[in-house]
Structure 1
């Protein structure tokens, strides 16, 4: 408590120091303030390229001049500049309507940041804090924004993402971003590069035909189940050993293993839900340490593919149903799930999830998803979850993994 004379009112001061960072700056400032009997209301501090900016909001007693003198003397001894402004209260009015706006660019240009900041201001919102999540191999920036509805921000920022060739994800700032979550991923052209059915069709001499039908189905031009059965029929007579050859040729999306191992350390659960084939998807799940998998089963008789599927087809509705089933099994709400996919077959799953991410997806899917990631690194999705590249590299180093060093700059 501060001692006020009758009729005195406490004065709110915003103290901002800036200058070269060094050990002991924050300690020195608060030592000076402690002698003036102030009450600390809010603190923000950042260090950028060894330059410190420290903001402290305090309620000063009647001897505000003593506070100013103490802080100015300390700043001078540290070789730093200081600004002291009068204010009123804390910044509670800015705390309503809080969102995280994550921006990913390769590169991220000043013009794009200007456009994003402008639209946030137009929406009546304020950028309270800015954090760098990554600088290599993409630049990722997280903005803490308050004062506007999350959906409204998403709407006004979507055109800027398209116009500037960047990815922008807008999410509510709530506990779900930090809690244990279930991540459900598509496989073909999401977790892995390419389409497995096309690789199998190459063994039957129908790769081009199957590729054309697959592309149409992923755009949403064809009924998925009918198109899948017609494509699988072309695989009749292919030896089952081709499945092993295809599996050995599968190339994971860059960052896939990093994504899984990092989030598993944090308690996340994973599922693969695919319109592809269980003979391959289940093996991928086992290889990567993924908890659940759901896919179509190819019929094999006497060591040969028959061109038929056993059981019901995992289609759009089947993928969404699998997401709900896995979430219920581990006891998390649908709001705590994340779905990642690229094709029309993923739309129901993306809509069912708390956060639906279109990953290098078809235009139809990008328009329907909560957000899009169009860089070729699956682990960039972690930046949307508030996990920085520096944290990922540090965790890998502790576990004995070696990650590429970023360029100097």
Structure 2
């Protein structure tokens, strides 16, 4: 007995697989590994087998005769290679559009690091085209990550690298930043607009997000501009929040998969409470605005939710959920999220400032939160079927 690879390709029709294995069975062929793929109405079915090498030509001819009515093309050859590579990593490539030239550049960069592409499958066509590449990385991955991050910026597409196997499928807690991540704007700027101080506050916010200012100092400075505003502006601001596209689908899908979902915000709990209830979030932490006699005092109560606090809360949520930090995901956009992003098992920079992109494991540079599902290897078809069933 020896090993061989036998393949049939052609139009996909009922009965092709049954006839293929019926012929192999008639020659007492033993199966070692099988892979079948359907693509645009065509089937590709390969079997890695043990057989009597003297019967290979007879088997090939038998397949041709039997499968000719299905318009199949047959190939059969002896092989001493392993049936399939056990991939070490997943590389997800996302673009709108995603062109053949983009994929060529990614494949060449992988080849430069002696990385073999074992398999490619499509994950989505909307809102971005996403391809999942199963690859084998022969050495350390940090240099590869940096090279792919640079290529991502150069090409204007998103590229994420993750370890393959159980670690990719075992995560069960995701923690979002809120402003400019879960929602499209900055809450404090919305509040400041009521005081006619939006431009002034936005300038301070931008510097804080880039890491140029201490977050707590900048927050207190910005909140001070709100002094004297009626507390009713909180409800008005809460009613005007706009979710980032794909947030509802992403959170609903992850919760259906057993995830706990958290939000940690440098914004304000009074504004987020309704949203947290609407999205069925498991954990919510944010700053608290002080209110006296129905007006904002321009101060916050208690400890400020700053960069360190965000990491601390992520660790608190993981402990409460009974999972290790390696099974957590954090998503943010600014310097205030750096500690949380680096502490998580998977840190995702969402349309982020450079300081955060440099330390994140993956980047999303399109305005669609459901790209996170693709990074996790969840096909959009599975999401749609689950939504329809629900």
Instruction: Tell me if both proteins adopt one fold, taking TM over 0.5 as the criterion.
Output: yes
Equivalent in the alignment of 1:263: 254
Q: Structure 1 unaligned runs (5+)?
A: 1-9, 400-409
Query: Does residue 1:245 correspond to 2:227, yes or no?
Result: no
Match for residue 106 of structure 2 among 91, 103, 116 = 116
Give 1:361's match in structure 2, choosing from 352, 367, 378.
352
1:206 pairs with 2:197:
yes
Work out whether 1:344 is the aligned partner of 2:350.
no
Matched, 1:322 2:313: yes
> Does the 8 A contact of 2:11 with 2:43 survive in 1?
yes
Per the alignment, residue 18 of structure 1 pairs with 9
Of 91, 94, 97, which aligns to 1:101? 91
What residue is the counterpart of 1:371 in the other structure? 362
What is the aligned counterpart of 2:158 among 154, 167, 171?
A: 167
> Structure 2, unaligned stretches of length 5 or more?
none
Distance 1:248 1:147 in 2: 48
User: Quick one: distance in 2 between partners of 1:180 and 1:120?
Assistant: 26
Distance 1:39 1:120 in 2: 35
In structure 2, the residue matched to 1:143 is 133
Q: Select between 43-52 and 71-80 the one with higher mean Cα deviation.
A: 71-80
Rounded Cα–Cα distance in structure 1 between residues aligned with 2:388 and 2:36 = 27
Q: Is the contact made by 1:42 and 1:90 (CA closer than 8 Å) also made in structure 2?
A: no
Give the deviation of 1:202 after TM superposition.
0.8
* CA deviation vs aligned residue, 1:194-242 (integer Å, no higher than 9, x gap): 1000000011111110000001100111111100010001111011110
Please tell me whether the aligned partners of residues 56 and 76 of structure 2 are also in contact (alpha carbons under 8 angstroms): no
Equivalent positions of 1:190-229 (< 5 A) are: 190-229=181-220
- The counterpart of 1:133, out of the listed 84, 108, 123, is 123
> Within 5 Å, which residues of 2 pair with 1:281-292?
281-292=272-283
Deviation at 1:65, TM superposition (A): 3.4
Q: Partner of 2:370: helix, strand, or coil?
A: helix
| Contact 2:60–2:74, Cα closer than 8 Å, also in 1 | no
- Summarize deviations over 1:46-91 as a string: whole Å, max 9, x none: 1111111112111112533332232232332321111112210424
Q: CA deviation at 1:152?
A: 4.3
Q: Hey, what does 2:65 align to over in structure 1?
A: 73
Whether the aligned pair in 1 keeps the contact of 2:171 and 2:329 (CA below 8 Å) is no
Contact 1:20 1:80 in 2 (8 A): yes
> More deviation in 150-159 or 324-333?
150-159
Q: Tell me if the contact between 1:274 and 1:281 (Cα under 8 Å) persists in the aligned partners.
A: no
Q: Distance in 1 between matches of 2:19 and 2:367?
A: 46
- Aligned equivalents of 2:229 and 2:127: distance in 1? 41
Contact (CA 8 Å) 2:171, 2:326: kept in 1 or not?
A: no
Alignment partner for residue 333 of structure 1, among 324, 330, 341? 324
Q: Could you say what secondary structure the match of 1:132 adopts? A: strand
Q: CA–CA distance in 2 between the matches of 1:54 and 1:171?
A: 28
State the partner residue of 1:300: 291
Q: Contact 1:60/1:67 (CA < 8 Å) preserved in 2?
A: no
CA distance in 1, matches of 2:143, 2:4: 33
Which whole-Å deviations, capped at 9, do the CAs of 1:261-295 have from their partners, x for residues lacking one? Answer: 11111111000000111112232211100000111
Equivalent residues, number: 388
Distance 2:102 2:81 in 1: 34
The question of whether the paired residues in 2 share the 8 Å contact of 1:100 and 1:144 is answered with yes
Rounded Cα–Cα distance in structure 2 between residues aligned with 1:205 and 1:152: 48
Q: SS state of the match for residue 31, structure 2?
A: strand
